[in-house]
Amino acid sequence: EAGVAQSPRYKIIEKRQSVAFWCNPISGHATLYWYQQILGQGPKLLIQFQNNGVVDDSQLPKDRFSAERLKGVDSTLKIQPAKLEDSAVYLCASSLNGIADTQYFGPGTRLTVL
């Protein structure tokens, strides 16, 4: 069974530029999560989708971050415009059906904002 796929693995941009990340969850997983992990800290949830609907986006900085999961499968996370403090690893995870199920993580995208 293929795991969670993410791309790109690394991205370097200058502040005020835009960037997009892509995630393809494990096949059949209804729930998809985007996390932000700053160096030295645990992952922080940005947004959770159930199929193509948003379950929780309370910690998503909506003035600059957006995410979509149009067909209930893969998802994109966008930052526009980026700030220096957005430098972090962005992790995508999926679970079969809801937050009480095991979450499986992708390899992450390491973003550096200069």
Partner 1 sequence: GIQVEQSPPDLILQEGANSTLRCNFSDSVNNLQWFHQNPWGQLINLFYIPSGTKQNGRLSATTVATERYSLLYISSSQTTDSGVYFCAAHSGSARQLTFGSGTQLTVLP
Stretch that binds partner 1, among 22-30, 69-77, 78-86, 103-111 (CB under 8 A): 103-111
Q: Which of 48, 49, 67, 94 binds partner 1 (CB under 8 A)?
A: 48
Residues 6+ apart with CB under 8 A from 34: 23, 45, 46, 47, 48, 67, 75, 77, 90, 91, 92
Q: How far is the CB of 13 from partner 1 (least distance, A)?
A: 19
Residue 110 in contact with partner 1, rule: CB under 8 A? yes
Q: Which is nearer to partner 1, 2 or 100 (CB)?
A: 100
Return the number of the residue (25 or 43) whose C-beta is nearest partner 1.
Answer: 43
For the chain, what is the largest distance between any 2 Cα atoms, rounded to a whole number of angstroms?
39
* Token pair listed for 15: 């502040």
Q: How far apart are CA 18 and CA 65, in angstroms?
A: 10
- Name which position in 56, 64, 74, 96 contacts partner 1 (CB under 8 A): 56
d(CA 10, CA 37): 14
Q: Please choose, out of 17-25, 60-68, 70-78, 101-109, the segment that lies near partner 1 by the rule CB under 8 A.
A: 101-109
